[in-house]
Chains A and B, each alone.
Chain A
Amino acid sequence: MNANNEQVASYVDAAGTLLGVAILPEWRAGVAAHLAIILASAEFVAEFECTAATEPAPLFEASRDDA
């Protein structure tokens, strides 16, 4: 995923609408800039090969014996 600035900005506009978050025009560039950094970080993490057997760190317990 190598989104360019315009693609990120378009995504911000669409996602803002779907989320119900009103983004003022003067905030748009800042939100897009932050999202671009987060997405780049996410891509960097995703490049690391996790096998299907690698569970996410947080584990859910249906019940705790001591509950």
Chain B
Amino acid sequence: MTLESDWLTAAEIASGVQRGRVAAVEIVEASLKRIARLDPGLNAFTAVTAERAGAAARMIDRRVAAGENVGPLAGVPFAVKNLFDVKGLPTLAGSKINRERVPAGRDATLVERLELAGAILIGALNMGEYAYDFTGENDHYGPSRNPHDTTRMAGGSSGGSGAAVAGGLVPLALASDTNGSIRVPASFCGLFGLKPTFGRLSRAGTFPFVSSLDHLGPMARTARDLALAYDAMQGADPDDPVCVKRGIEPVEPLLARGIDGLRIGIASGYFRIGNSSASGLALERVASALGASKHIELPEARRARAAAYVITAAESAGTHLERLRTRPADFDIEVRDRLIAGAMVPAWAVDRAQRFRRWYREQMLALFRDEVDVILAPSTPCTAPPLGHKVLDLDGSEVPLRPNIGLYTQPISFIGLPVAAAPVPLDPLPAGVQIIAAPWREDVVLRVAAHLEALAVARAPRPGIER
């Protein structure tokens, strides 16, 4: 195993460390060196916890030397979007205001669980302010840059997570997804990402955005790494009332099952309007590789997106009302006006959106029961736009960029369906595809992602940032 390889997967690292072929200390040092060298150009990290990582690595190595099984993620460096609590750091959530928060007294639940599995926290990652973002840009900390072209967006709001993993700084990152914030950077940066079923993974110890829609999940360069991380993080959590009391259902052992027996459809109608040539091509390649030809109309998808928009606006304003009253000038200018507007949304609007949500969920569950096991859809209407870009060409019309990047992701997260984002390597930039299944079927979406990876149709392309 070469230590100079920046493209080792989490599975490869864990195997090497557990078998004593490479020391966790060396893995961590290599990661820290790459961060020091490349992060100034990517701006993925807001904090690097080098001392903590070194201490954890030494402990892992001692335990391995003593013959212990340290876990399925032995020695794997990982980083977390800075809305996750990291003990000793103020939880920034991409903001200036949160710099003044008391440092977290405890790690977020998912951080604790990854460390229990042997992974090693390397640091905290940049993000769009308070997660109200699809670009990865940030007024206070600068934009996260796309490793495939550093003049372009990493995507958001988990921009730092996308940049860190796609740039080879760490093999694994944690992120959040409310309306698309894992799937968008996964698409722009060419990564695999998992947005699990709503309520599947604990949100304890994370800074909230929209309680009705917030999900947490991993980003990685392989489907197997997603599965390993997901399996390590599952389980009920008394500290999170939204986290379901569902038993742990390991997915990694099931990946080899492939796609046999799965009914796979392609989202039509709304999800094909505005496809760029790249996003359309990515979807076609995936559908062709899977032998999928059935087109599925998701009922009222446009209305679902509108309802998600309304709920997001209102609930996020509730989260931030005191800060809007006391520190309005300290918000990112792209976030502040939206939050203030959200505070003015009449209550009936949220009520109607939540009622529609129940109807829409029943329609979608019926589709998964009667017609398909998997639905394919593009992740984004475009590949990564240039930094600072404000408009998007959608089917010949110019529309505002920011809200429309999440066109295809919002109707899916609206009802908490599990999605694996799979990267299709295109030239010059990658494009992502959403692999969507019924609730609690993370096994299905990851099996499909793994199958596409085995066919080399989905792959995390390596950027040329060091050339």
Contacts and interface: CB of A to CB of B under 8 A. Distances in A.
Interface string B306-337: 11011001000000010011001100000011
Contacts of A66: 245
B212 A58 contact: yes
A42 B353 contact: yes
Nearest to A52: B355
A22 B310 contact: no
B369 interface: no
Interface of B: 212, 245, 300, 302-303, 306-307, 309-310, 313, 321, 324-325, 328-329, 336-338, 340-346, 348-349, 351-359, 361, 403
A49 B325 CA distance: 36
Nearest 5 CB-CB pairings of A with B: A42-B349, A56-B354, A34-B341, A30-B337, A41-B306
Given A56-B357, A66-B245, A31 B352 contact: no
Interface in A5-52: 11-12, 15-16, 19-24, 27, 30-35, 37-39, 41-42, 44-46, 48, 50
Contacts, number: 109
Nearest to B245: A66
Nearest to A12: B344
B306 A45 contact: yes
Nearest to B338: A34
B359 A45 contact: no
A48 B321 CA distance: 30
Nearest to A15: B344
A20 B309 CA distance: 24
Given A42-B346, A45-B310, A56 B355 contact: yes
B349 A46 contact: yes
A42 to B, nearest CB: 4
A50 B306 contact: no
B345 A27 contact: no
Residue picked from B337, B343, B359, most chain A C-beta under 10 Å? B337
A37 B283 CA distance: 30
B348 A46 contact: yes
Given A22-B328, A44-B303, A45-B306, A38 B342 contact: yes
Given A42-B310, A66-B245, 19 more contacts: A19-B324, A19-B325, A21-B324, A21-B340, A23-B340, A27-B328, A31-B341, A33-B337, A38-B310, A38-B341, A39-B345, A44-B302, A45-B352, A45-B356, A50-B355, A54-B358, A56-B351, A56-B354, A57-B212
A12 B345 CA distance: 10
